[in-house]
Amino acid sequence: MIFTGSEAEALTMHARLQRLEFGKRRGFGSVKVRVRVGETEWKSSVFPQKQQCEWVLLISKKVMQQENLAEGNPVKLKLELL
């Protein structure tokens, strides 16, 4: 799942605020999140990409199977910054 636009800007600002507060970056500049897709909820991280203001969330095959998702299909999810 790729986040761009206002969603990506919010993730970038959250990462910057964390860096200011804690004085260091997390691995690869990632941001911890809680994700919910359908009935499945888990903790994960989103990762910044080289393109400015673009973030990626990886969704495991297990979640894809549980929620009957196929690669390339749109996914409705809830993302909470931790």
Cα 33 to Cα 19: distance, rounded to the nearest angstrom? 16
Q: What was the pLDDT predicted at 48?
A: 94
Query: Is the pTM value of this prediction over 0.75?
Result: yes
Cα 59 to Cα 11: distance, rounded to the nearest angstrom? 18
Query: Per-residue pLDDT tens for 28-76?
Result: 789 999 999 999 999 999 999 987 789 999 999 999 999 999 988 889 9
Q: Phi/psi of residue 55, each to 5°? A: -130, 150
